Structure 1
Amino acid sequence: MSHIAVERNRRKQMNEHLKVLRSLTPCFYIKRSDQASIIGGVIDFIKELQELLQSLEAKKKRKSVSPSPGPSPRTILQLSPRTQSEFPFGHGSFKEVGACCNSPLADVETKISGSNVILRTVSKRIPGQVVKIIKVLERLSFEILNLNISSMEDTVLYSFVIKIGLECQLSVEELAVEVQRSFCTEALSLTQT
């Protein structure tokens, strides 16, 4: 087989693999159809899936340690500061400041990344919850730059990239608590009906 034929076969295989990768990845991860964009989008999608898996495993571990009969309207929120080493996809030596606020209803994570804030929530699918989170962010003078929604069975991951408004005086810890409260109000309305 000549060198030209081998190279042609390699390119054909590469294009077929890229088509498969593109078909397996949600369209909003891939901005353009060039090879670098496809591979970059697939990497971002895999990172999101890894984060969702880690969150689900942590939630499962917490439930096995202390099983709760169900969500209580007076849920105690656990707020813990996070360091760069706890974020799986940090920026090397760039320090990220973040917080995590967990309850039986949802895990809420906030971190500052450059001039933006990344907000992630993992919870069971609750109709209208994303709208409640958006209302909280708008009330607190945040501008939503990007929203990704990933779901697996009855669990959903909301990933927001938000810009801090000039009027905003909240810390990332306070933001995590405020977003967590939007889940708690859902529990209150469910127990009252």
Structure 2
Amino acid sequence: MSHIAVERNRRRQMNEHLKVLRSLTPSFYIKRGDQASIIGGAIEFIKELQQLLQSLEAKKKRKSLSPSPTPSPRPLLQLTPSPPTSSCSPHDSSDGGVKELGACCNSPVADVEAKLSGSNVLLRTLSKRIPGQVVKIIGVLERQAFEILHLNISSMEDTVLYSFVIKIGLECQLSVEELAFEVQRSFYEELAIGY
């Protein structure tokens, strides 16, 4: 087989694989039709699926051990000290590096994780599908002077993962622990309305 025929066959296979990859990836992740965008979008989608899987496995493990009846905030990652009344200040990097601060607030109803990174907050919630819950979370964020930059919704059967990237507003007075607790509380408000 000539070099030209081998190269033509390789390109044909690559195009077929890219076509399949594009069909398996939600269009939200792929901004353009070029090869780099398809591969980059598929990578982001796979990362999101891995996070969903890890969250589901952690929730399954917690349920098998002993579920707690009430939400309880607990620090997840704390690289810098945070006083109880700390505000969400975007100027948290005095040594030039990006410092992260995070918290999670888990309960049988929902797992909430908030992570401060620079001037943004990464917020993730994992719960059973509750109609209107995303609107309640958005309401909590807007009341606390957060601006939503990005929202991604991933679902599997009756479980849903909301992933927010939010910008910290100047009036924000919540720590990441308080934010995680407030978002967790919005799930319980939804349940209280249903009863």
Structure 2 stretches lacking a partner, 5+ long: 80-96
Structure-1 residue corresponding to 2:94: none
Answer yes or no: is the 8 Å Cα contact 2:98–2:118 preserved in 1. Answer: no
TM-score by length of 1: 0.87
Give the direction of change, closer, same or farther, for the CA distance of 1:35–1:114 in structure 2 (3 Å limit).
farther
Answer yes or no: is the 8 Å Cα contact 2:67–2:108 preserved in 1. Answer: no
Q: Distance in 2 between matches of 1:123 and 1:11?
A: 43
TM-score by length of 2: 0.86
Answer yes or no: is the 8 Å Cα contact 1:99–1:109 preserved in 2. Answer: yes
Answer yes or no: is the 8 Å Cα contact 1:111–1:119 preserved in 2. Answer: yes
Count of residue pairs the alignment pairs up? 178
Structure-1 residue corresponding to 2:70: 76
Q: Distance in 1 between matches of 2:141 and 2:55?
A: 22
Structure 1 residue 6 and structure 2 residue 14: aligned? no
Structure-1 residue corresponding to 2:172: 168
> Cα deviation per residue 1:64-120 (whole Å; 9 max; x = unaligned)?
11257xxxxxx42222212389xxxxxxx9543211110110000111223211110
Cα deviation, residue 171, structure 1: 1.1
Answer yes or no: is the 8 Å Cα contact 2:119–2:168 preserved in 1. Answer: yes
Q: Distance in 2 between matches of 1:144 and 1:77?
A: 24
> How many percent identity over aligned positions?
80
Answer yes or no: is the 8 Å Cα contact 1:84–1:95 preserved in 2. Answer: no
**Residue identity in the other structure for 1:115:** S
Answer yes or no: is the 8 Å Cα contact 2:99–2:118 preserved in 1. Answer: no
* 1:1-193 map, 5 Å: 1-66=1-66, 75-83=69-77, 95-190=99-194, 192=195
Q: Distance in 2 between matches of 1:41 and 1:105?
A: 31
**Residue identity in the other structure for 2:141:** L
Q: Distance in 2 between matches of 1:94 and 1:141?
A: 22
Q: Distance in 2 between matches of 1:129 and 1:172?
A: 20
Q: Distance in 1 between matches of 2:148 and 2:128?
A: 22
**Root mean square deviation of aligned Cα:** 1.8
Answer yes or no: is the 8 Å Cα contact 1:100–1:173 preserved in 2. Answer: yes
Q: Distance in 2 between matches of 1:45 and 1:168?
A: 31
**Residue identity in the other structure for 2:7:** E
